[in-house]
Structure 1
Amino acid sequence: MTTIMYDQYNRKIDYLRISLTDRCNLHCRYCQPEVSEHVPHNEILRYEELLRICRAALQLGIRKFKITGGEPLLRKGCSDFIASLKQTEGVEQVTLTTNGTLLSRQLPALIAAGVDSINVSLDTLNEAYYKELTGGSLGSVLQSLQELQAAEIPFKLNCVPLAENGFADIMALLQLADKYNAPLRFIELMPLDCNANLQGLSGSEIRTILAQAGLKLQPDAQRYGNGPASYWRIGGYAMPVGFIEPLHNKFCAVCNRVRLTSVGMLKPCLYSDDGIDLKHLLRDSISDADLLQTMQKIIYAKPDGHRFEVQAARFNMSQIGG
């Protein structure tokens, strides 16, 4: 019998985002603008602990898993973990979100592991601005995209549009996504204490920019993944364009996910401080039955929605899995 997990608001929860590490080789100004002190390695969940949590999640009806960071490819053994998770009975899908800078070297191992699809974060095709925004090298990301296409691995592009990006950046990303027939998603800037000096663009503002440029937009009801994006078709472009708008098109009423941080906090909501320290319980030798009951309780208590519109969150995105 297939278990289905519903929370207290009757939302079906079938998706777990897993952060493998808080470390990242980039320092994007909207996410982790300063180099911070990293969590000691012994405080990070071991892979066997992660797999035990995933097996419990499967018993609760969670079938889809997203591997994130920080930058997940910084953690040694990432592809081996994905392979083990893919081989676990009941798993339907394992996907990865990465900044793409380390992807080229690790792509063969990820393909062998059976990764289902990959999301690549890319905010600009202007090399100088990319360096200023992230501290990294654009060329390594572009090479990874070429290799993803050659390997026929499905991928999407994620962009956090800022007011400073400009029309040229948006159009260049559209053309790149069209070249690869890869869905492009614009993710609205989430208010964090660390990015209070930045101004993001809403989905409505981007659609207005595109319409003013003479492009015709039509809503696309089809879903392209497990996330909350609403998709549109743009005249002359092959791929769909998605908009993830946690502020201006709040989607909490249909949220289907919970998050596991690299240090073992199971968070029912990205914004919420509520959660349960599973690492502590695992290392205190909790039984499988009690682990299952504990996870079920915290998932059921998932709040009705975030409060980003009331107050900025205090964490960096790299701390909770982006």
Structure 2
Amino acid sequence: MKTKLKDYLLVTLGCFLAAIGINGFMAANNIVSGGVGGLAVSFAAMFGWDRGIIALAINIPLLILCYFFLGKTVFISTLYGSWLFPIFIQLTAKVPTFTHNQLLGAVFGAIVLGIGLGLVFIGNSSTGGTSIPIKIIEKYTPLSLGFIMTVVDGLVVLTGLIAFHDVDGVLYSIISLLIIGFVVDTMIAGTQSSRNIMIISQKHLRIKEYITKDADRGVTELPVFGGYTGQDKRMLMLTIATFELQRIQTAILEIDPTAFMVVMPANQVLGRGFSLHKHLQHNDDDYLLPM
């Protein structure tokens, strides 16, 4: 219960800060930072609609796609943040613009927005928006996550060019995107791109089921021997992207609060689910037979 309450508080604070980043720094400076917030800024300039209403209208059909293509678990974890974020965009629409310098608006808006998104991700949620189609495309195509994010957020930034006819604004928006990504990655799990997790637990079967079915990740099961107890045990090992760490770690501790986990940086990860298209079926071509 305390964990759930903490998550809700983190997501609430994160959505509020993200909305401040957009309304207090970016909107008046023609900065379109990607995501649903960026689309809200562009469409508000083009059509005169309220940014909060636009964000909510975009998120509703995307949530429906999330439920059918990514499953109930991802849908539930995304629902709260994707509903709250547009509300805070609407509530903070009247906050004063803190700077009218485009560079300062891009940099400090990105820092505030990045901190907000980082808190949302740490709270095991998201603000919905373009993260949903990004996850769907990543799940059903061989394209890398980084490439998909670059293309999707790049298209959102281009809507800013259409809305404001401001080339400088587009360039500053790209700077803003880079800063947001760095801030979020640093908040969640440092500057490394991936993490390797080793888990020893009496409930390893339930944890393995969660990893393969709910988290949609591969896992390796290894026999180990307790040096102190002298008992045979099972160790699970998996490699994940940094943004998945908080969600998976929290879920494992909910299954077994006494689970022993070691999290290590993985500087370079190649293979299925990373540099190759992810699937969990057996593939003989993936193995090197002994000579």
Question: Would you call these one fold, judging by a TM-score over 0.5?
Answer: no
TM-score w.r.t. the length of structure 1 is 0.23
- Which one has the bigger strand percentage? 1
Larger radius of gyration: 2
